[in-house]
Structure 1
Amino acid sequence: MPHIPSERFDESREFYAGFLGFNEAMDLGWIVTFVSPTNPTAQLSIVHPDESSPAHPRVTVEVGDVDAVHTEAVRRGLRIVYPLSDEPWGVRRFFVADPGGIVLNVMSHR
C-alpha cells in the first residue's frame, strides 16, 4: 500500500474520498487509509509529513508473520530503520530500507 505525503491533508482527503470515491478505513489523525469500494485490496494512505520522524515509509507491506520477516531482515544485515514494535492501533511492525534507500513499513495485524 503506498503512503502519499500531503501538506494539504484535508484537500487530499476530499480528493481520494470525494473525487475518487475511496472509503476511509482508518483515521489516526496523522494518517488516513482509504480502500477502493470495488476492490478492497486496493488501498492507499495519506500521511502528514513529519520532519521530526526518523523515517518516512513510502510503502506498507502486510505479511503473515512479521516476527519471521524481521528475523530474516536482521539475518541478511538489512538496515532496520524502526524497531519491531507493537503499536496501539493494533499492528506489529518494523521499518526496513530497501537497497535503494526506500523505507518500507512491514506489518501484521494483531
Structure 2
Amino acid sequence: MKVKRIVANFYTEQTEAAKQFYQEILGLDILMDLGWITTYGSQEKMDVQISFMSEGGNSTEVPDISIEVDDVEEALNRMKEAGFSIEYGPADEPWGVRRFFVRDPFNKLVNILTHKPR
C-alpha cells in the first residue's frame, strides 16, 4: 500500500471565506465546491508529507499548515495588501527556508515558505 495524498480539513460554517486567502492571494484553484465543502488545490505535483512538531522552529508556535510557494516575497506583499497580520517573519531560517506566519480567515496559523537556493 502507498499513501497517494494527504488532505488538510478545517471546520468552518463559512466555506466561502477561504476564497480571498487561498484562491485570490495564494492562487489556488477551486477543485471541488459542494456547498458544504470547498477544496482548493493545484495541479502541481507535490511530495506527500505530514509533520509532527514540538515547536514551529526558532521557538515559534506550531503552525497548523505549511504552504511552500515559489515567491515568498510576493506572497508576503499580497497578504499585507489584503490586510492580513504577519505573526512571524519574514525570516531566513538556518535550515534553508525563508518564511513568514500569517493567520487565515479561520484563525489557522499558516507557515508560508520557500526553500532558499543553495
Q: 1:97 aligned to 2:103?
A: yes
Between the two proteins, what is the percent identity of the paired residues?
A: 36
Give 5+ residue unaligned stretches, structure 2. 1-6, 9-44
Partner of 1:41: 47
User: Aligned pair in 2 of structure 1 residues 54, 42: CA closer, same or farther (>3 Å)?
Assistant: closer
Post-superposition Cα deviations, 1:10-29, rounded to whole Å, max 9, x if no partner, equal: xxxxxxxxxxxxxxxxxxxx
Give 5+ residue unaligned stretches, structure 1. 3-38
User: Aligned pair in 2 of structure 1 residues 76, 89: CA closer, same or farther (>3 Å)?
Assistant: same
Moved over 3 A (4+): none
More strand by share: 1
User: Aligned pair in 2 of structure 1 residues 75, 40: CA closer, same or farther (>3 Å)?
Assistant: closer
- So what's the TM-score if we normalise by structure 1? 0.58
Aligned length: 72
> 2: CA distance between counterparts of 1:106 and 1:87?
13
Structural RMSD (CA): 2.3
Partner of 2:88: 82
User: Aligned pair in 2 of structure 1 residues 60, 85: CA closer, same or farther (>3 Å)?
Assistant: same
